[in-house]
Amino acid sequence: MIWIAGTFFCSLIFSISSSSQVKADSCDIYSHPQYGIGQCIEQNQCPNALYQSGLCESQPANIKCCFSLGPMTEEFRAVWIATVTNIDWPSSRTATPAQQQTELINILNTVQKLNMNAVVFQIRPVGDTFYASTLEPWSLYLTGAHGKAPSPLWDPLTFIVSEAHKRNIEVHAWLNPYRGRMSGATYELSSNHMAKRFPKYAYTYNKYIWMDPGSVEVQQFIVNVTEDIVRRYGVDGIHMDDYFYPYSDGTEFPDAATYTAYQQTGGKLNKGDWRRSNVNTLI
């Protein structure tokens, strides 16, 4: 068996037959970013016509490299696309949708060129959205104004799922469950923002607005938001960030009333254990 570095994007195993003809009979060291390990088989046997030509050289024309739909064994090679405060995208919240789309396409093309297979796309940085939602307001970081829909209307999550999948890149939807507004931001929150829905559990802490992870209603709301995303979008995963209490600023997180309510219903955990169990419950 001779190992030959094949085309620019894969390696093939070549075997030498008795007639000394070089024949590619396997491409199982080439791992397709989405479908896993390939095999050289007849095209009409490929599941869902998942095949790639050119990988099974010296074969009859109907032999193609097909890809397994089995459990994925390849690496998760991903980048984050952070939207909060416009870290990665969109570079401008006042750019037109067409400009923002071009920028997103450029990111995906770079990800593809670098042979990555997933993006972790931040769609809910501060209880606001980069997708059309009936539960929560549009993100300030998308349109320049909290709660303002893009004009002309488009849905960045729909767009990225479609464009990423064309490039065999997975999309993992990244949510920050409890963060309600960034430190120091002062804009007025929309009436359907979680801090307005559950004002009793919305605290100012270290100049952020942070929801109380000990509130069962807040937990349930986040579950509802997540379920809504999974039902309506073809995302490949959910990525929970900051699913815990805020980093300490040296003062006590102001959840004394929630803890007292827990104790009054018979809760026995000390405060630290109770907080840890709240984090575990959401996840």
Ligand X SMILES: *[C@@H]1O[C@H](CO)[C@@H](O)[C@H](O)[C@H]1NC(C)=O
Task: Please tell me the distance from the alpha carbon of residue 28 to that of residue 40, in angstroms, as a whole number.
Answer: 8
CA distance 146 to 180: 12
Contact, 80 vs 111, CB < 8 A?
Answer: no
Tell me whether residue 83 or residue 190 sits nearer to ligand X (CB atom).
190
Which one of 62, 109, 168, 220 is in contact with ligand X (CB under 6 A)?
220
Task: Work out how close the CB of 224 gets to ligand X at its nearest, in angstroms, rounded to a whole number.
Answer: 4
Instruction: Determine contact, residues 212/110, Cβ cutoff 8 Å.
Output: no
**What is the token pair recorded at 264?**
């009054």
Residue 75 Cβ vs ligand X, minimum distance, rounded to whole Å: 36
Give the amino acid at 62: N
β-pairing, 118-124 vs 2-5, is unpaired
Distance in Å, CB of 14 to ligand X, minimum:
57
**With respect to ligand X, which residue has the nearer C-beta, 107 or 175?**
175
Is residue 221 near ligand X by the rule CB under 6 A? yes
Nearest CA among 261, 245, 236, 108 for reference residue 176: 245
Q: What is the DSSP string of 190-241?
A: PTTSHHHHSGGGEEEETTEEEE-TT-HHHHHHHHHHHHHHHHHS--SEEEE-
Give the closest residue to 198 by CA, choosing from 246, 273, 127: 127
Among 224, 248, 260, 263, binds ligand X (CB under 6 A): 224
Q: By CB under 6 A, which span of 10-18, 144-152, 159-167, 217-225 interacts with ligand X?
A: 217-225
281 binds ligand X (CB under 6 A): no
Minimum CB distance to ligand X smaller for 25 or for 228: 228
Q: Using CB under 6 A, which of the segments 38-46, 142-150, 220-228, 234-242 binds ligand X?
A: 220-228
Report the residue number, 63 or 175, with the smaller CB distance to ligand X. 175
Q: How far is the CB of 111 from ligand X (least distance, A)?
A: 34
Q: With CB under 6 A as the rule, give the number of residues binding ligand X.
A: 4
Q: Which stretch binds ligand X (CB under 6 A): 5-13, 35-43, 149-157, 214-222?
A: 214-222
Query: Cis omega before residue 152 (within 30°)?
Result: yes
Q: Which CB sits closer to ligand X, 30 or 221? A: 221
Query: Cβ closer to ligand X: 220 or 281?
Result: 220
Least gap, CB of 201 to ligand X (angstroms): 11
Shortest Å, Cβ 221 to ligand X: 4
Instruction: Answer yes or no whether residue 217 interacts with ligand X by CB under 6 A.
Output: yes
Work out the widest C-alpha separation in the chain, in whole angstroms: 84
Question: Using CB atoms, what's the residue nearest to ligand X?
Answer: 224
130 binds ligand X (CB under 6 A): no
**Residue among 69 and 230 whose Cβ is closer to ligand X:** 230
Burial zone of 226 (CB within 10 Å; 0-12 exposed, 13-18 middle, 19+ buried): middle
Residues across the chain: 283
Bridge-based pairing state of the strands 36-42 and 31-32: antiparallel
Q: Can residue 62 be called a binding residue for ligand X (CB under 6 A)?
A: no
| Binding positions for ligand X, rule: CB under 6 A | 217, 220-221, 224
